[in-house]
Amino acid sequence: MSLPRIAEMLCLDGERVSGASMASYAAIEKKLRLTGKPYCVVSAWILIDVEGVDPVVTQGTHLMPAVMYVHHVLSHSSGQLCEGDSVMTGYATYMDPAGIFETVDTVYILLSHGFRKSADIETVSAAQAQANRMASVSFSASGLLDE
């Protein structure tokens, strides 16, 4: 997999889209109440429409062929992510123009504006694999601890 293709996919450009606003408050509150899932407030985000997903894979699963890359986590209700973290999500189960992006295990609140673009399944899978590898590495002030 070409790193330039991954870097291009994660670059903050593409179609500019709006995130949550004060008018989104009721929709966000309702979604959080209905799901009971942890929520993550984010900025500097990119919605990625995944091209080339086999419809059989998502059929009957309620998964949508879209993922999100977040450059900056502001807060996470369960503490799973820290302020300043980046995250590559799994496939969406719900998206709302009110600034809500939901996955199987988390509701993301998208602040400010972000971007939307398309990427092929191979590039998205490679980026997710890289993100998973990075998530399994621990660091200390003196450097790498373990994998």
d(CA 116, CA 143): 35
- Global pTM value: 0.86
Tokens of 146: 């373990």
d(CA 114, CA 138): 29
Calculate the dihedral angle through the C-alpha atoms of 100, 88, 127, 18, rounding to the nearest 10 degrees: 30
d(CA 74, CA 114): 14
Domain ranges (residues) in the chain = 13-131
d(CA 143, CA 82): 19
pLDDT in tens, 10-69: 999 999 999 999 999 999 999 999 999 999 999 999 999 999 987 766 666 789 999 999
What mean pLDDT is reported for the chain?
88
3-state secondary structure of 54: coil
